[in-house]
Amino acid sequence: MTNAQDVIKDATTRMDGALAALKDRFSGLRTGKASPSLVDSLQVPYYGVPTRLKDMANISTPEARQITIAPFDPSVLSDIEKAILAANLGVTPRNDGRMIRITMPELTEERRKEIVKVAKTQAEECRVAIRNVRRDANDAIKAMQKNSTISEDEAKKGLDDIQKLTDAKIAKVDADTKAKEAEVMAV
């Protein structure tokens, strides 16, 4: 990296990656309504190779509280069932010989609070990742200043810009977490 702007662009990309990962993890949290993202990344042994469920079956939500899984190869139905049960998602799959149906049970107040707790933990992990990116970017700018690649004014402006970027991304994490909490707690 040759200047502070390159460092800031890199930090922005990495922080956006952390936010995207958080959004992906949030999509896997149950909210009471069926979502294919609840099961699509489950690993299922397929001829001895762990394979993502979405790569070996059609996953759909025909009703608001039901997920159907239609594997391309019906011989793996029992393996898919075992993987769903092993994932401890709080759901019970039903196998009809051609596809698996999962009916989402109503969430209890206690289970909703547990899910919110998990969401908050995931959000904190994202905040830590963003702060780590900030630290790396600050170190890079300070190293550039020490090596006389950039001026002291450029370094100060770069450090300020990185802090503003960090504050904005953490505010986005907080907003996403609040939205997810509201979604989970809605009855």
pLDDT by residue (tens digit) across 31-73? 667 778 778 778 898 888 999 888 999 999 888 888 999 999 8
CATH 1.10.132.20 segments of the chain = 4-27+108-185
Give bridge partners of residue 95 from the DSSP assignment.
100
Closest CA to 55 of 67, 69, 34, 35: 69
CATH architecture of 4-27+108-185: Orthogonal Bundle (1.10)
Contact between residue 83 and residue 44 where contact means Cβ atoms under 8 Å apart: yes
Q: What percent of the chain has pLDDT over 70?
A: 97
Give residue 27's pLDDT band: very low, low, confident or very high (50, 70, 90): confident
CATH 3.30.1360.40 segments of the chain = 36-103
Q: One-letter amino acid identity for 11?
A: A
Instruction: Specify the pLDDT at position 127.
Output: 96
Instruction: Specify the pLDDT at position 169.
Output: 95
Is CATH 3.30.1360.40 the right assignment for the domain spanning 36-103?
A: yes
DSSP 8-state symbol, 1: -
Instruction: Specify the pLDDT at position 25.
Output: 84
DSSP codes, 99-152: -EEEEPPPPPHHHHHHHHHHHHHHHHHHHHHHHHHHHHHHHHHHHHHHTTSS-H
Higher-confidence residue: 142 or 184?
Answer: 142
- The mean pLDDT value for 154-159 works out to 92
- Give phi and psi for 32, each to the nearest 5: 105, -20
pLDDT, averaged across the chain = 88
Contact between residue 57 and residue 71 where contact means Cβ atoms under 8 Å apart: yes
Give residue 148's pLDDT band: very low, low, confident or very high (50, 70, 90): confident
Instruction: Specify the pLDDT at position 92.
Output: 85
